[in-house]
Structure 1
């Protein structure tokens, strides 16, 4: 999705609010002066013996309330996600405005608190796992040492993040009271203000020190993987710029696809108009799998397509593409623009298993021991390539972890 298109969508969203109730239009009607309101809102307004338009003050006492079918069609635009997607866009526009006014301090504090909660849960999970293993392990003394080292490492990371959160909280307090505005507008190099300017969605840098080595859970995950996908080969995907939208970038070290801020968009055009990227790999036979971590994205689609997918075609909306996506807060399987709702919560990670021998594409949840979410029979006429879509109106990312060894 181009930057210009993104700005247009945001502008349209900002004009979908009723100026009486300040909510997104419900049954929008148009007065003789051309201004639009919710049908219920303007009726209540005119009931109070008022004769003028709330916006321009023109006499509308004899105006007939005409349904604005164009606005109704825009509000129900299913390709974008309907009313829920417009409400989400309006929320993001409001959040962006507030972030610009406050230096995004509040957002950063909330992000740090969430990561602290995550660390606490990881400490508890690690302690429980080690305790269970040590009870059945003869090397009890060695296990105690491992437990202490892991717990100490996590506690140190937690302490560091608590400190960062306190710094952000102090900064937020100063902004609210109006103190030290001149110092905050020109922070010294290396000060806590740099933390405020970071992308709140970029959790990699915040959690780098808290990553654990392969645990018993990871080893069990590998055993489950081998049982669920016998003879399947792991595919380490790669991405060439000419096969993706110019708003996307691939970070090789963290193996992550990310949407880029407007000022960092590539000048050269990519393959797709939407925020979509096709991997370099083309599969003609055999059984392959790849994993996708989706925790960094509010809207996404993962799947495969024939390599003739056109620049203006969206994954899952053609007869030559298949995908699993998160749309309007739920999981949906999509092929040839036919959508199937998946009655399952959105997992943190997904495994895509492509069996070219039998023509089957399967999506599995990595959070429930490779529970199958949905499967398709796919066309084997030409090579198939992995394709990924990201919601382009906010900062989103997908990462592709390697199996533990």
Structure 2
């Protein structure tokens, strides 16, 4: 009686039954005589097992020995059972025939075995599985390259658009300041023309910035779609199972279409200023002869410290951004108890100078570092304040009450060096935003007159440079959970002044503790 292993050796790979009139091909593989001839009538004349071509005009030879074995098996009454399992082997198996998946049916998009190729898929277009896999991988890699190029192009366009957006904002702010300063110097009868000119500039700015924001949003959405498609393709290329690979490949969507060139932003400073000729033709030369706005405070750095004047009135002519910030202006004072022993406070604690000689022993609450904090703190609402620095090498920021007062290592400041403080460091050759020990390098700007806007409702801290016009330098986003104190660091010989609004009263500080401005 034959064993199942023997029956497996005596089974035709085409019909999956015991050989009937077995024949042998030159490659050594055996098949039923009728099965191999039927296969050749429907497909190429080659071996279904190894794909070796069979010579035209030749006939397969009858396998006498194998026929004798089959006669003995049939005489013993042993017949193959339905559903006989295929011999053991590695790789995925055909769920219908149990044979290895060696082919890919391009018509149906499925992995198939040799039996499928002469039965269900005999009229379909087929290819070897590994050949088809390599071809499809090549196509996917080409698609990946195109997607990466689109991502790079979109990022470049987005960066350029953001740069233009910033420049247009600054230009529009400058134009508004120029027009405002010029019209203010004219007689009352020209105020109507001034309002009209400012309205036109604001309308033009709104229109072009709206276009810029719309295109930025489109580019950001396009970048997200490209990134998702990029990751899907990468995941598909990492799929080890062939059957899952082709199943997921069928579901893979096409890569997003490129957005194409961006519409140029139509912003022309000369055109905006040229429109004034229609309203003020006799006065055009007067209005356009000077483009630079007036300085906020004309301070001589070489003057003595006492001559700086922290209460110097700030002119009312300023760009709309700074006017908006002034709605939440806070007058602050330095806390004498926190000042480093080399720091000298003056002008009702509104001005601090870093001197060469210590003024006395350090107090229990004073900074060992070259720092001082304000007597006021903020724990709710929105607040804005401004400072004037005599020179570079200063740091301004905010910190929680637990900010360390003592030195750690060789550092002379710790503003932004840990998780409980945020700072902006102004150096001679660089500007850096610091938080939690990480710095972000910013563009160089004038660091003499600076503003800080703290919005505890939305969790934003924004630093501004105010000369020649207000422009945002950096914004921190955080969930501020405890009261925040303005804190400052300054190098030896530097002076820092807290600017006060004209006519505003100094905030009241309870004895022994800092007040909270809410």
Q: Which has the higher contact order (CA 8 A, sep 6+)?
A: 1
TM-score (norm 1): 0.46
The TM-score, its normalising length taken from structure 2, stands at 0.36
